[in-house]
A and B are shown apart, each in its own frame.
Chain A
Amino acid sequence: MTPNISPFIIFFASIITSNMILSNFLGMCSYLSVSTEYKTATGLGMAVTLVLVLTTVVNWFIYTYVIVPLELIYLQYIIFIMVIAALVQILEMGMDRYTPDLHAKLGIFLPLITVNCAILGVTLFMVIRHYSFLQSLLFALGSGFGWWLAINMLAAIREKMAAVKLPPGVKGPALSFIITGIMAMAFIGFSGIFTIQ
């Protein structure tokens, strides 16, 4: 059942052609709200990538060795969410203890990320598409980089546009949506290079 696609194709495809934000529109909440500054957007992107990889790996094992053998597929959503929440909590404590510098930069984003739908989205795509372990790992890594790339682009554009005089109706979230829409259209130009979905 595992699709016969090279994990590296999956990796690049999830950055460019199947970008979590620009083609799946997942994880929009934190993407829109934490994209006013390039620096913080970078922090959030890094945190999302880290959590994505960790949760996807753990969820892959949970799915393969717990959910499937015990026939709990109908509970997978709840289980995935619980695993993500628990993992993020432990990750935060561990970071605070062993890498306080990193925690100072990423710590606040971790609770935000628990409810980021890109995280659950990647896990669910992995299940639906029957990815192998390696495929899942690179899919998660690529999706994280893709999300990171998208939020950094939006933040950079928003920083540039901060000085531009705009009519009140297109300020703030409206502007973010317009920028995201244009970026998504631009990314359509990549379609055909890789196909994974």
Chain B
Amino acid sequence: MDLSVILRTVGSLALISGALSIIISLSEMVLNNYGTVELDINNGDRKLSVKGGSSLLSTLAGEKVFIPSACGGKATCGLCKVGILDGAGPIALTEEPYLTQEDRASNLRLSCQVKVKTNMRLLIPEDLFNIREYLCELEEIEDLTYDIKRLYLKLPQDQTINFKAGQFMQFYSRPYGKIKEEVFRAYSISSKSSQHDHVELLIRLVPNGIVTTYVHTALSVGDTVRLSGPYGDFYLRGDAEELIMIAGGSGLAPIRSLVYEVIEKGLPHKMRFFFGANKLRDLFYLEEFARIEQEHPNFKFIPCLAFPEPEDNWQGETGFVTVALEKHVDSGENREAYLCGSPGMLDACIKILKDKGFPDSKIFFDKF
């Protein structure tokens, strides 16, 4: 009796769930079968033939086109925006909160919420095809100041990197000490954009910073470091006669790359680089920039110390960068500004630049 009840229970449950699964599978085959569809990316630059029925984000990832996404397709981060000219269907309620009026006007959609059903025409920033993951070998690590280290990383033999000067890489730390998981942080590339087999990063020790502590205490020459990139929209626009560059501390990194890009490409821009620090011991790369200044009359280097010690024998600009900025820059006319540094310093500098007549569209910055 007992056994027959058990058998009947298990049997009928199995039958019913089996029947339901078959019905679902069949309806999926019928309803979710959109056949093979063509994705046209950037007006014919790339064409992909893919199987329809999944989200655009995962379909593209299957084709090794990685759209940045932090939430993994749940419509909670709003990062995976992609331009869709054709074939997207109506905007879903899940997308509404993430699409501004401008986004809508330029046909941007959340790729994780758009299902691939028909042929589509997509606009994907060319940079995204450039993002790769690199397992680099740490070739050199040295102290630039008491709290800033320079890391020189060799890319794997078969890989190269193409980045715009000013862009950054994501740096993945390994578990160490009490930190049990991999953590990543972004660091600007300080090497020349013409160099494709190495990248240089400048990393300042942040008190209690997980990744910076890892770099400063646990990392040594020969270690393998995982990077991904390049990312970011801080790069040279060059639509002006003179470029005003402002950096504090390790914010020098992207500026160094920018300066070299202008010089190596033989661009006509004048450059003035204001480099702010507290004391002499915080300054680095002084000889290098002094040398560039000698060799290239278009480039001027203006280091500023806010609190020089008497023994520093400081002859240069004294006070915050903002003071030097007030003094040396008269107007925003025909100038672009590139800033990289701490939010406090950047906000103060941007305020001055705006007062001098720099429009928002000519001020580019990378806050950290």
**Residue positions of A touching B, CB distance < 8 A:** 40, 43, 66, 70, 72, 74-75, 78-79, 82-83, 86, 89-90, 93-94, 96-97, 100-101, 103-105, 107-108
Question: How many angstroms between the C-alpha atoms of A43 and B91 in the bound complex?
Answer: 14
Cα A43 to Cα B96 with chains together (Å):
14
A residues less than 8 Å from B13 (CB atoms): 75, 78-79
Residues from chain A with a CB closer than 8 A to the CB of B17 are 82
Q: Which residues of B contact A (CB under 8 A)?
A: 9, 12-13, 16-17, 20-21, 23-24, 27-28, 31-32, 89-94, 115, 117
- Knowing A100-B89, A104-B89, A107-B92 are in contact, say whether A75-B12 is a contact too (CB < 8 A): yes
Task: Determine which of B24, B89, B94, B115 lies in contact with A89 in the assembled complex, contact meaning CB atoms within 8 Å.
Answer: B24
User: Cβ of B9 and Cβ of A75 under 8 Å apart?
Assistant: yes
B34 to A, closest residue via Cβ: A97
**CB distance B12 to A94 under 8 Å?**
no
Q: Which partner residue on chain B sits nearest A101 by CB separation?
A: B90
Contact A94 B31 (CB under 8 A): yes
Q: Are A90 and B23 in contact (CB under 8 A)?
A: yes
Main secondary structure of the interface of B (DSSP, over half): helix
Interface of A is mostly: helix
Residue of A nearest to B115 (CB): A96
Q: Are B93 and A43 in contact (CB under 8 A)?
A: yes
> Which B residues are CB-close (under 8 A) to A97?
31-32, 117
Complex Cα–Cα for A159 and B89 (A): 30
> In the complex the two chains form, what is the Cα distance from A74 to B9 in whole Å?
9
Q: How far is the CA of A94 from the CA of B21 in the complex (A)?
A: 16
**Residues A93 and B93 in contact, CB atoms below 8 Å apart:** no
In the complex, the chain B residue whose C-beta lies closest to that of A108 is B94
Contact A94 B27 (CB under 8 A): yes
Instruction: Name B27's closest neighbour in chain A (CB-CB).
Output: A90
Quote the shortest CB–CB distance from A196 to chain B (angstroms). 30
Which residues in A have their C-beta under 8 angstroms from that of B27? 90, 93-94
B34 → chain A closest CB, angstroms: 8
Q: Are B91 and A104 in contact (CB under 8 A)?
A: yes
Q: State whether B92 touches A104 (Cβ < 8 A).
A: yes
Report the bound CA distance from A83 to B12 in whole Å. 14
